[in-house]
Amino acid sequence: MDTAHSLTIAGAGIGGLSAALAASQAGWQVQLLEQAATLAEVGAGIQLGPNAWHCLRHWHLEAALREWAAFPTGIETRSARSHRLLARLPLGQDMERRYGAPYASIHRGDLHRLLLEQVQQHSDCRLRLGVRAHAFAIDGHRIAVQDEAQQTLAEADALLVADGVWSRLREQLLHDGPARPTGHCAYRGLIAQSALPASLRSQCVTAWMGQDMHAVLYPVRGGEWLNMVVIFALPEILPRLLTQSASGAAAQCWDMQAPQAQLEQLLHTACTPLQDLVQAISDHGTAHGGAPWRMWPLAGRPPVQHAGQMAQGRVALLGDAAHPMLPYLAQGAAMAIEDARQLQQSLTQPGLPDVPARLHHYAQHRWQRNARVQQQSRRNGRIFHLGGPVRLGRDLALTLAGPRLMDSPWLYGYGFVAHADATPA
């Protein structure tokens, strides 16, 4: 291998931490720069397909994940209006055998903490909190990251940009401006199963599909809690909702308090179990003195068109900074994790002459899969949110051929993304 061995990573989210693990395991010295003064993920859940699990297993996280994750028994699709079951894709042992890893769901904070603990075991990996990467400057074979005052925060042989959807460093690299609002907005809440009546408890992933909206519910924390996400496609009224929101925060804020009444109003035509769940989360959160619902306006970018937009010279993009996607395939973090796994392989691949060749190798092996998953996520959202007569066609297809459709790229795309063949070995 060439002699260059140091990497700066901007951003210590799920993507940045995965990349830090991957690069440390490849023998590189890593410096992670994170703007937050303390490290914590937002209080929400995340579904982990077998493709992500394969990578995490490679980084020796499987035992810890089995302790903290939940393992949904199936994925159900239902009508948001009537609660009618349209289709059920069983998960569990059969799926685990088929894809070589389970389908899991986990609290984001737990996944983030497990990654961080693993990163901290590497003495070659240093984390600096409370520093904001603003720009980079290249000087020969070295690349410096600077803050707003142009002070150098870190210097290394390569820079990995993993600072999320609003990445400034990406803008400097690609000159493609900031991410754009998509007109979609996610509301999310958590509740202990013990706080719910038995009829509302669940150990599966349930997706209720309605016109211009859908809701997803799944277990986290070993199955003891439920995470709920309700997403609306509301390009016309979203700007008004955001100005009305309790915090009055700008659309760039990805985690703000959501006014409960607003959510309840948006769901006024939804089926009773859906409304009851939302109400239960609201009541439970309020009773415990917290803000039960958080709001997350979703921003996006079109997919990159070639590997050169994912890595240039000594700078490469990873995770949402490279390929922000709508969450309709539950694969954004999984793609960041897959990116990191590929990075590890490219950093250790024999025969590559230098750092730029390694980063180019990484980008070449990732950009197309990321772009496909970005497109499929958007398409899934359109299918989830159908209204009018086409909705009836979708529901009929799901009722007649549900599990097969949910496993195929034609609808839901579970098998499309989950297949081990699609994951770097």
Give me the residues that bind ligand FAD (CB under 6 A), please.
Answer: 10-16, 33-36, 46-47, 132-133, 162-164, 168, 186, 229, 296, 298, 319-320, 327, 330-334, 336
CB 402 within 8 A of CB 79: no
Q: Which is nearer to ligand FAD, 16 or 210 (CB)?
A: 16
C-beta of 399: minimal distance to ligand FAD in Å? 25
119 residue type, one letter: V
Structure tokens at 360: 């180019």
Q: Are strands 74-79 and 104-107 parallel, antiparallel or unpaired?
A: unpaired
Neighbours of 145 (CB within 10 A): 24
Phi, psi (degrees; rounded to nearest 5) at 14: -60, -40
Q: Which is nearer to ligand FAD, 227 or 260 (CB)?
A: 227
CA angle 134, 108, 407 (to 5 degrees): 110
Q: Which is nearer to ligand FAD, 13 or 402 (CB)?
A: 13
Where would I find the beta strands (DSSP E) of 280-345? 294-300, 311-312, 315-317
C-beta of 124: minimal distance to ligand FAD in Å? 20
How many helices (H) and strands (E) are present in the chain, helices listed first? Answer: 13, 19
123 residue type, one letter: S
CA angle 159, 375, 54 (to 5 degrees): 60
C-beta of 417: minimal distance to ligand FAD in Å? 9
Where would I find the beta strands (DSSP E) of 198-290? 205-210, 213-220, 225-233, 256-257
307 residue type, one letter: A
Q: Which is nearer to ligand FAD, 229 or 405 (CB)?
A: 229
Neighbours of 128 (CB within 10 A): 13
Q: Which of 324, 350, 351 is nearest to 339 (CA)?
A: 324
Phi, psi (degrees; rounded to nearest 5) at 418: -80, -15
Place of tokens 């569990």: 92
> One of 103, 218, 328, 414 is an active-site residue; which one?
218
Q: How far apart are the first and last CA of the chain?
A: 20
C-beta of 410: minimal distance to ligand FAD in Å? 21
CB 158 within 8 A of CB 347: no
C-beta of 319: minimal distance to ligand FAD in Å? 2
Structure tokens at 371: 């772009």
Q: Which is nearer to ligand FAD, 138 or 390 (CB)?
A: 138
Q: Which is nearer to ligand FAD, 320 or 407 (CB)?
A: 320
C-beta of 10: minimal distance to ligand FAD in Å? 5
Q: Which is nearer to ligand FAD, 294 or 365 (CB)?
A: 294
Which DSSP helix (H) or strand (E) runs through 105?
strand 104-107
99 belongs to the catalytic site: no
C-beta of 330: minimal distance to ligand FAD in Å? 3
Q: Catalytic residue numbers?
A: 218
